[in-house]
Amino acid sequence: MTKNYIAGEWLPAAEASPNINPSNTNDIVGEYARASAIETERAIAAAFDAFPAWSRSTIQARHDTLKAVGDEILARKHELGHLLSREEGKTLPEGIGEVARAGQIFQFFAGECLRGAGEKLPSVRPSVEAEVTREPVGVIGLITPWNFPIAIPAWKIAPALAYGNTVVFKPAELVPGSAHALAEIIIRAGVPTGVFNLVMGRGAVVGEAMLSSSKVSAISFTGSVPTGRNIARTCITSGPMKKLQLEMGGKNPMVVLDDADLKLAVECAVNSAFFSTGQRCTASSRLIVTNGIHDRFVAAMQERMQGLVIDDALKAGTDVGPVVDQSQLDQDLKYISIGQAEGAKLVAGGKLLKCEAPGFYLAPALLTEVSNQMRVAREEIFGPVATVIRAKDYDEALELANDTLFGLSSGICTTSLKYASHFKRNAEAGMVMVNLPTAGVDYHVPFGGRKASSYGSREQGRYAQEFYTTVKTAYTFDGNGPYVHKANPKV
Ligand code: ADP
């Protein structure tokens, strides 16, 4: 059994669960411990006890630790990428790319450790000065999803540790392998006992224990909207108010205007909708296409989709790997049927495929004649299923793009500076892409959305400090001159 790391020790659990390769369900990656609530509480207590010392550790020590983590991840990106693709089902180049990103993120936050933050300001009162400083928050509970098994943990763990917090990390049940490998690297880099804890297990057990603990000061979560709403409710209705950062779903639009470069638009759409098997919160599932290019776009998509190789994630030449598991596959198929029942036309894919090994293979699906009111256009599917929605012109396309509960990423393909600029300004999303896929982001700039997609401050880049630090304002009267009691009487 692959163990949890709690209070400086690798510990087995009473229960374990198999980690199954979605490209070949006969291949078991390993048996991974499933922690209980009591084990989770031990991890939280260890993180709580380790916090005072770690929060005061030197920025050089933290830098060196994070740098070592980043360096080892990058040096082992092929091996770790193989493990990631094997357990999650994204293609090997995607897996290796994701691992490399995790390494870069650790290196970025190693540098951030050394960047001082704070201000010293004159007070409005005589002989008083004000200082604004940032302090670590405390024990941070990190809850991550299965679709980015190492990058999302990296972009939460690295800033948490960089800014002096201690961590209890709960990866998704489906992908404990990458999380475990990452934990080994973090521990090898020399984090003191209790500073970092890995607690694999169920959301309803491990996750809930983190939410209900008064020793946890903040929760950063990435996952579905219903779970995110539940987490928010629990975190603010009992005990101390926890800081919250929730990254949730998307129903990201990609607008294709009449003047778009057709080939580029098709590449952006195929990448956005189907790469990583469409299992990205930034995936585009609504292709909003204006009348003049609509039919040419659909025909070009059909042709391009025929050329996609759907196969074992680890095989060279695979463009799209399997869906992550049976329940996600059932959900994808259910939505394809719902769309057809609502009047959409399935013009490509949507069928189960047989490959050499038994796996969850689905040909990426394209639904046309979709209206923005249909369920397939409103609810997140989280699979290789895209809809095409017709718009009469740019104005209608923009309106449709914004007519959604979500607001994570929003894209436009156009050669018009006027429309591109207008879209950047008016898209109701946290991220806007012009002539680029809606998915695929840099790591040194903020990541996050609006509306039901995100709650709390942004992740990644320098913006991460908003969540992983808390601001303190200190006033000092220096005794040079009289203390003026009435200078600021109201506050
Ligand atoms: P996904 O569809 O990505 O699995 P979920 O929201 O179900 O989305 O899961 C995302 C993460 O949240 C996973 O690590 C999961 O175990 C965790 N989780 C699920 N339910 C809860 C819960 N009630 N409390 C805390 N964490 C949970």
Query: Is residue 268 among the annotated active site residues?
Result: no
CATH class of 4-248+453-475: alpha beta
Cβ(261) – ligand 1 distance below 6 Å: no
CA of 223 to the centre of ligand 1 (A): 6
Q: What confidence score (pLDDT) does residue 489 get?
A: 54
Candidate list 281, 413, 459, 466, residue with the active-site label: 281
Residue 448's Cα: distance from chain center in Å? 9
The ligand 1 atom nearest the CA atom of 210: 25
Q: How far apart are CA 61 and CA 48, in angstroms?
A: 20
Look up the pTM and report it.
Answer: 0.97
The ligand 1 atom nearest the CA atom of 226: 6
Q: How far apart are CA 315 and CA 355, in angstroms?
A: 11
Is residue 41 within 8 Å of residue 202, measured between CB atoms?
no
Q: Where are the domains of the chain?
A: 4-248+453-475, 252-434
3-class SS letters over the chain = CECEEECCEEECCCEEEEEECCCCCCCEEEEEEECCHHHHHHHHHHHHHHHHHHHCCCHHHHHHHHHHHHHHHHHCHHHHHHHHHHHHCCCHHHHHHHHHHHHHHHHHHHHHHCCCCCEEEECCCCCEEEEEEEEECCEEEEECCCCCCCHHHHHHHHHHHHCCCEEEEECCCCCHHHHHHHHHHHHHCCCCCCCEEECCCCHHHHHHHHHHCCCEEEEEEECCHHHHHHHHHHHHHCCCCCEEEEECCCCEEEEECCCCCHHHHHHHHHHHHHHHHHCCCCCEEEEEEEHHHHHHHHHHHHHHHHCCCECCCCCCCCCECCCCCHHHHHHHHHHHHHHHHCCCEEEECCCECCCCCCCCCECCEEEEEECCCCHHHHCCCCCCEEEEEEECCHHHHHHHHHCCCEECEEEEECCCHHHHHHHHHHCCCCEEEECCCCCCCCCCCCECCEECCEECCCECHHHHHHHHEEEEEEEEECCCCCCCCCCCCCC
Cβ(145) – ligand 1 distance below 6 Å: yes
CA of 205 to the centre of ligand 1 (A): 10
Q: Hey, CA dihedral for 59, 63, 69, 70, is it positive or negative?
A: positive
Per-residue pLDDT of the chain (491 residues; tens, 9 = 90+): 999 999 999 999 999 999 999 999 999 999 999 999 999 999 999 999 999 999 999 999 999 999 999 999 999 999 999 999 999 999 999 999 999 999 999 999 999 999 978 999 999 999 999 999 999 999 999 999 999 999 999 999 999 999 999 999 999 999 999 999 999 999 999 999 999 999 999 999 999 999 999 999 999 999 999 999 999 999 998 788 999 999 999 999 999 999 999 999 999 999 999 999 999 999 999 999 999 999 999 999 999 999 999 999 999 999 999 999 999 999 999 999 999 999 999 999 999 999 999 999 999 999 999 999 999 999 999 999 999 999 999 999 999 999 999 999 999 999 999 999 999 999 999 999 999 999 999 999 999 999 999 999 999 999 999 999 999 999 999 999 888 766 555 65
Query: Is residue 281 among the annotated active site residues?
Result: yes
CA of 406 to the centre of ligand 1 (A): 19
Between the alpha carbon of residue 2 and those of residues 168, 384, 404, the distances in Å are: 17, 32, 42
CA of 145 to the centre of ligand 1 (A): 7
Candidates 156, 212, 220, 227: which one to mutate for ligand 1, based on the most atoms within 8 Å of Cβ?
A: 227
* Superfamily of 252-434 according to CATH: Aldehyde Dehydrogenase; Chain A, domain 2 (3.40.309.10)
Q: What confidence score (pLDDT) does residue 486 get?
A: 61
Between the alpha carbon of residue 150 and those of residues 114, 158, 208, the distances in Å are: 24, 11, 22
Picking from 340, 343, 258, 253, the residue whose alpha carbon sits closest to that of residue 295 is 258
Assess whether the region 4-248+453-475 and the region 252-434 belong to the same CATH fold: no
Q: How far apart are CA 480 and CA 147, in angstroms?
A: 59
Token pair, residue 24, equals 């070949």
